[in-house]
């Protein structure tokens, strides 16, 4: 009885999965591109991502999202592929998961893989897409932190000739890489300081805390400098800037080692997945994976790998942050 049900499900998926995948892909592309610029018109750098909303954008109904939220990260990930999905973040996120799941279902049916991989394909799609979103976010704040040591040392040197904090910030920010996110974010901070004073800077410090603890510490030092002022505190800032610069450089080295660890984990998982795929595709051993015991083992293996991926990722982020 159970064998007939599995056969009916398999045959139904074989027939309808390609059509469902095509319809889902067409709907997602239409939803993303309706009212959204194509790649040649899209934002070309991370600096544009941090550009303040102008009147036209506000009238268009694109509401700002909280920094560090899932919607915020999805927008950033989409910009990496030349698309703006403002207001359609969840649609893009779950739409890509659905399409990837359908493609995996087609592959499972085409290569006659065990039915236990059907629920595993949905979980795998979620892990892959979520990993892409988080990876783009991590890449952004690593690029931002990379320039912080040089920025602090330049600011400390500039303050000797330009005691005015905002003027010194403006001069130093102009020397940063225009294609990197730090320059655009600091320009927003300067605008907030000019428009809102200490309150505007406190708001930017809260945003910095959601992006990176290192950035938050830098903004805190600038806030103290701006609030206190005076030649004595400028000298104290220079000493603090040197120490903080060394700390951030060490943190950047730790992050580089963490990236190497992630690379090793990916190689291990790809090797394991490749070995399992070869075994399932081999006519001499593929029948072993169609038993109930083997399919339960496959499910446990995928669940364990997903949990391990998340646990290891959280541990690495906790150490490096």
Which mean pLDDT values do the consecutive 10-residue runs of the chain (321 residues) have? 56 56 57 46 42 37 74 87 85 91 82 72 84 84 84 88 90 90 92 92 90 88 82 74 78 73 75 74 70 75 74 67 60
Q: What is the pLDDT of residue 27?
A: 58
Are residues 95 and 25 located together in one domain of the fold? yes
What is the separation, in whole angstroms, between the first and last Cα of the chain? 54
Q: Within its chain, how far is the Cα of 250 from the centroid? A: 23
Are residue 106 and residue 153 in the same domain, yes or no? no
CA dihedral 47, 68, 137, 193 (to 10 degrees): 30
- Cβ proximity of 223 and 205 under 8 Å: yes
pLDDT value for 15: 52
Number of domains in the chain: 2
Residue 183 counted as domain residue:
yes
Eight-class DSSP state of 63: -
CA distances 16 to 28, 58, 105, Å, are 18, 42, 11
Instruction: Tell whether 281 is covered by a domain.
Output: no
Residues 218 and 168 occupy one common structural domain: yes
CB 61 within 8 A of CB 55: no
Give percent helix, percent strand, percent coil of the chain, each to the nearest 5. 80, 0, 20
Task: From 89, 113, 137, give the residue that closes a domain.
Answer: 113
Q: Taking Cα atoms as reference points, which of 108, 125, 107 lies closest to residue 290?
A: 108
Q: What residue numbers bound the domain in which 3 lies?
A: 1-113
Residue 319 lies in a domain: no
């Amino acid at each position: 009885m159970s064998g007939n049900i599995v056969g009916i499900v398999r045959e139904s998926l074989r027939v309808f999965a390609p059509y469902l995948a095509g319809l889902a892909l067409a709907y997602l592309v239409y939803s993303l591109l309706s009212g959204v610029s194509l790649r040649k018109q899209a934002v070309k750098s991370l600096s544009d991502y941090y550009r303040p909303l102008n009147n036209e954008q506000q009238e268009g109904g694109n509401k700002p999202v909280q920094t560090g939220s899932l919607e915020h990260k999805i927008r950033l990930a989409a910009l990496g592929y030349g698309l703006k999905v403002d207001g359609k973040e969840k649609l893009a996120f779950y739409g890509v998961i659905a399409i990837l799941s359908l493609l995996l279902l087609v592959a499972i049916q085409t290569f006659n893989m065990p039915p236990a991989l059907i629920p595993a394909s949905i979980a795998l799609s979620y892990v892959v897409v979520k990993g892409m979103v988080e990876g783009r976010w991590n890449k952004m704040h690593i690029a931002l932190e990379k320039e912080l040591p040089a920025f602090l040392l330049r600011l400390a040197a500039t303050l000797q000739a330009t005691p005015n904090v905002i003027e010194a910030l403006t001069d130093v920010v102009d020397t940063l890489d225009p294609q990197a996110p730090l320059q655009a974010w600091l320009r927003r901070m300067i605008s907030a300081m000019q428009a809102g004073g200490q309150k505007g800077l406190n708001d930017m410090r809260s945003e910095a805390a959601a992006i990176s603890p290192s950035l938050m510490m830098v903004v805190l030092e600038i806030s103290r400098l701006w609030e206190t002022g005076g030649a004595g505190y400028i000298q104290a800032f220079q000493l603090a800037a040197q120490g903080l610069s060394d700390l951030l450089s060490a943190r950047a080295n730790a992050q580089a080692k963490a990236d190497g660890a992630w690379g090793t984990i990916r190689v291990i998982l790809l090797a394991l997945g490749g070995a399992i795929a070869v075994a399932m595709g081999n006519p001499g051993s593929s029948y072993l994976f169609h038993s109930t015991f083997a399919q339960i083992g496959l499910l446990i293996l995928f669940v364990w790998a997903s949990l391990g991926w998340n646990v290891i990722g959280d541990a690495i982020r906790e150490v490096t942050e």
